Structure 1
C-alpha cells in the first residue's frame, strides 16, 4: 500500500483502466475457481459416485452455513440423477465436459481483458513518470547537475522507470487477482471438507513466514544494483563525451579499468539480487509440494479409512489445492518485484521531490522590454566554500558594451551565470531597470537575454531547427539573414541540404569555428536587447575570428552587451573594460586608458603579444 501511495498521483489519471483491470481480475479469480469446481460433476459421472437422489433437496432441511456444502452436493447429485435417467450417462458426460470447457474459456477471456486494460495503465503511468522526470530535469537549476552524475540521472529515467512499470503488474496481481483466487478457492474447499481445510491451513502461515524471510533484504540489494547501474552509465557518458582526450592521452586502459570495476560491482550486486529472487520460486514450490503431500496423507486417510470423503470430492479438492499453490507462488514472486519497484520508486521520487532553489516569486514582475540599465549591486557569490565574486558592483547603460577580462578563475563566466540566473547571488542584487532579477519570472528575464557560450552547444538536428531555438516562429528568410550576420551563410549555403542539413551529435559534422558561428546566428535570430557573450570567439581560428568579430560588432550596435573575453583583441572597442582578479575589480576603463595605467590589463595584453 505504501508503494501505491507513492505512485498514486500517476495512477489517478488512469483509474478507469485500474477499475476495469480489477473487475476482470475478479472475474478471472471467480471463473478460475469454478473451472476446477466444474471437474466434480464430470468426475461423478465418470466414477459413478453420484448418490442417486430422486427428490429435489430443500434448502430449509440444511441448517447453518456448515451444511451448505452438503446442500450443494445433494443438489448436484439430484441434477446428475435426473439427467442420466432422461438422456443417458454418456450424454451427461458430454454436457459436463462442455461446462468445464466453458468455465476455462471464461477464465481465460477475463485474463485477457484484465491484461488488455493493464497495458493502458502501466504504459500510461510509464509515459507520465518519464514526462515528469524530463520536465523536472529541465526545471532544476544547473547547480543540481554539477553535483549529480549524468549517468545516474539517465538510469533513473530509463532503468528505474522500467522497474516501476514491471512491478505495477505485480502489485495489481498481489492486490486483486491472486488473493481473490485464493479466497474463492478456500471458500469452495471449506464446502467440500471443513476438517481437511482447517488441517491444511495450519501449515500455510509457516510457509508464509519462510517466504517472507527469503525476501526481507531484497529492497536494499535492488537499490545497490540500481545505484551502480547509474554509476557505470556515468562512466560511459563521460567516455563518449571525452573520447578524443582519452585517445589523445593514451588513457584507454585507465578508463577501461574504471568501467570494468563498475561493471564488476554491478555483476556482484546483480548476482546477490538474482540469488534472492531465484530462491523465491523453488522455496515456494517446495513448500507447496509439502502442503500437497500433507493433503494426500490426511485426505487419503479420509477417503480410504474414514470414508468421510468421496473420491470425486478428494480429486476436486486436490485440484483446488493446486489452484491455491499457483497464485501463492505468484504472490511470492510479485512481492519481490514490488520490493525492487519500491527501491526504484524511491530513486525516481527523489528527483521529483527535489525543490529548485531558483523558483519564481509569487508576485514576480514580468518584463518584456529593457529600458535603461543593468546594475550589479555589491554582489558576492560562491559555488561551494570560497567566494569567486566579492562585493562586485557595475552599472551598464542601455546600448553600451562592457567587457570583462581577467585570468582564469577571476569570476568572469560566473557573472554570465548570475545575470542569466543559472545561479542566484549569495549577497547583493542584480537589477534590470531597477527590478531585482529574483523578482522577475525566469522566462521573462531570459527572453531579454541572448547567450553565446564558450562551448558551442548544438543538437543532433538540422541547422534550421537549431536556430529556431532562438525564435521558434522565424521564417527561412530570417534564418538566412541571421546566418549572414554571423558570417555562417557562406559555409551553410554550400552544404548538401542548406539549412535543412543535419549537423550530427553536438554538431560534430562541423568544425569548431562553424559550430560557434551557428551559436552566434542563433543569438542573432533571437534579437534580444541584452547580449551575453561568454568567450564567444575563443573556439575560432584567426580567419573565423575576424569574420565573427565584425558580425558581433554589427549585432551589438544599439544593444547592451556583456562580453567575457579571453582574446583581448576582440574587445578593444568596448565602451568599458572591467579587469577582474580573484573576484574583485582591480581596473576599469577604455582600452587606451588601461594601457596607459601600465597595470594588470597591460600585463594581460603583453602576455598575448598585442601591446
Structure 2
C-alpha cells in the first residue's frame, strides 16, 4: 500500500486541483445520494401507515440526528394533514428524483474531471520513461534486452493505465460513498452497524489474500513478455542469418516454448483474477444474509426495538448501496496489485542510476581552441571487472588527425567513447583546453563533436530528416551542400522523391556505402570542430570505400579528427598514429616512423598487405 501511495504522490501532486475537484464532486454526489436514499423511510412510513404524526418537533439541532428526523417527520405530518397520502407520496417522490438528479450530475462531473487526470498521469509516466531511457548511459543497454525495455515502455505502461489509472475513480469515489453511507447507518442503528464493522474486516481479509497473490505471477508474466519481445526484435534484426543457416525450425521452437510459458503464467493469473467477482459476490451475499438475520431480530423485538420496520428497510437500502462500491473497490485492489508489478518494472528504469552526470562546475563549452589530452586514463566496465584501458596518455592538438589502431578488443573504440562521455573514466582524466570534460555540461561537450560509426545509424525517415537530425532550422541548400561534400548528392537526387525519399528501416533501401555517406553528410551539416570516425570504412567494398574515403577526407579538412582505423591504408597521412595492445598504447608516431621501427604496427600493415 505504501508503494501505491508513493506512485500516486509522485504523479498526482502536479494535478492537485483536479484531485480536489474530483474528491469534492464525489462527496457532493454521495451526499445527495444519501438524501435520496433517506427519502425511502417517509415513503415507506406513509405506505405502511406507520408514519407517526408529529405536531411539535421541538427546537431544531443540526448536530442531532433525532432532532433532524423529528423535524422531517413533522413536515411529512403537515403534508398528510393538509392533503392526502397519495399527494405526499408524489411530493416525496419528486424530491427523491431531484436529489438523484443532483447525485448523478455531480458523479458525472467527478468523472469528467477524472478523465484528463488519469490520461495526464499515464502520459507523464510514459514521457518520464522515454526521457530516462534517452538519458541513460550506453552501458545500461549493453546489460538489458532491447525487447524487454520496449515491453516496459509499451506493455507495462498499458497495464498501469488499465489496472492502476482505471482504479483511480474507485479510490476517489467508492470510499466516499462507503463513508457517507456508513455514517448514516451508524446514525440509524449503531448496534447493527457495529455488527457490520465486525463482518467487513473478515471479508476484506479473504479478498486481500487473493489480491496479493496476483502480484508475483503478474511480474513473471511481464518479464516473460519482455523476453518474447526481445526474441521478436532479435528475429527481425537477424532474419537474413536465420534463413541463410536454415535455422527457422530452431527459432520457431524456441519462440513456441517461450509463448507456451507465457500462456501458462497468464492462465494462472487470470484464474486468480477471475476469482475476484464470484468471491466478492458470495461474501457480500453472506454478509447481507447475516445482516438480515440480525437486523430482523432487532425489528421483531416489537415495542422495545431500536429500529422501526421502515427504518430497517431504509437501512438495508443504505447497506446495499455500499455493497457494489465495496465489491468494485476489492476488484480495484486486484487490478492494482497486477498493475503495481508493471509499475515496479517501470521504476527499475526510472530509478536506474545515471553514472555519467555533469560536474559541480557545469561549464558550458562552446569552442575548441588548443588540445585534447588523455591524462593517465584507465577504465573498466564493471567495478569488479578487468581494466580494458591502462594508463593511456596521449595529446591531440587542434587541427591534427590522430589515428588509433590495433587488434579487435585492444581498447580503441572504448577510448574514443570516453571523449563524449558515453562512459566516465575510472582513473585519470580527459581534458579539453586544460579543463576536465566532467566539468562541462554533457550537451555542450557533445555539441563540439560529430560521429561517423562503423555501422551507420539511420532512421526510418527521409534523406532530409536524417541529414538534419540534431540540427535545427537547416535549409535545403545547406543540406545539399553537406550531401555534396559527402559524395551523396548524386544518388539522393536519383531517387523518386529526392531528399524527401524515405530510406527505410535503418536505411535498408540503401547500400552500405550510401548509408555511410548519408551519415557523413549528417556530420558535415553539424559542422563540429572535433570529428570522431570509428572504423567508418571497414565494412565497405573497395569502390564504396574510395567514395566514402573521399567524403571523409572532405569532412576532416580544417578539423581535429580522431580516427579508429581497421584498414591501415586509410590513415597513412595521419599526424599521429597510436598503436594499442591489450588496453595500452605501445607505439606512437607517424606511419613512416612506426613502419621503420619494425614492431607491432609494421606487422599489422604487412598482414593487411599480404591479405590483399
Superposition TM-score, scaled by structure 2 size: 0.92
Residues 32-431 of structure 1 aligned to structure 2 (within 5 Å): 32-53=33-54, 55-59=55-59, 68-69=65-66, 71-169=67-165, 172-173=168-169, 175-303=171-299, 306=302, 308=305, 309-384=307-382, 385-431=385-431
Q: Provide the C-alpha distance between the structure 2 equivalents of 1:470 and 1:197, rounded to a whole number of angstroms.
A: 66
Secondary structure of the residue aligned to 1:348 is: helix
CA shift for structure 1 position 146 = 0.9
1:11 corresponds to: 12
Structure 1 residue 27 corresponds to structure 2 residue 25: no
SS in 1 for 2:363: coil
TM-score normalized with structure 1 length: 0.92
The 1-side partners of 2:182 and 2:471 are apart by 67
Q: Per-residue CA shift, 1:43-94, capped at 9, x if unaligned?
A: 33333332344x142247x9995xx34x444444433333234343332222
Alpha-carbon shift at residue 371 of structure 1 (Å): 1.8
Q: CA deviation at 1:422?
A: 0.8
Pairwise mapping of residues 499-510 of structure 1 onto structure 2 (< 5 A)? 499-510=499-510
Q: Distance in 2 between matches of 1:8 and 1:233?
A: 31
SS across alignment from 2:198: coil
Q: In structure 2, what is the Cα distance between the partners aligned to 1:561 and 1:125? A: 46
How far 1:175 moved relative to its partner?
4.4
Conservation of the 8 A alpha-carbon contact between 2:215 and 2:341: yes
Deviation larger for 568-577 or 12-21: 568-577
Q: Note if contact 1:33-1:323 (Cα within 8 Å) is conserved in structure 2.
A: no
Conserved in 1, the CA contact under 8 Å of 2:171 and 2:329?
no
Partner-residue secondary structure (3-state), 1:323: helix
| Structure 1 runs, 4 residues or longer, greater than 6 Å off | none
Question: Is the Cα contact below 8 Å between 1:122 and 1:168 reproduced in 2?
Answer: no
Cα deviation, residue 173, structure 1: 4.7
Tell me the equivalent position of 2:486: 486
Q: CA deviation at 1:538?
A: 2.3
Contact 1:182–1:324 (Cα < 8 Å) also in 2: yes
Is 1:587 the counterpart of 2:587? The answer is yes
Q: What does 1:563-582 correspond to in 2, within 5 Å? A: 563-582=563-582
Does the Cα contact within 8 Å between 1:170 and 1:338 map onto a contact in 2?
A: no
* Distance 1:49-1:535 versus aligned 2 partners, 3 A rule: same
Which deviates the most, 428-437 or 186-195? 186-195
The CA deviation at 1:396 is: 2.0
Which residue does 2:433 correspond to in 1?
433
Measure the CA separation in 2 of the matches of 1:64 and 1:151: 62
Paired residue total = 606
Unaligned runs of 5+ in 2: none
Deviation at 1:27, TM superposition (A): 1.5
- CA 1:206–1:257 in 2, change beyond 3 Å: closer, same or farther? same
Query: Following TM superposition, by how much is the alpha carbon of 1:412 offset from its aligned partner in structure 2, in angstroms?
Result: 1.8
382-391 vs 139-148, which moves further: 382-391
1:568 to 1:331, Cα distance in 2 relative to 1, 3 A: same
Which runs of no fewer than 5 residues in structure 1 stay unpaired? none
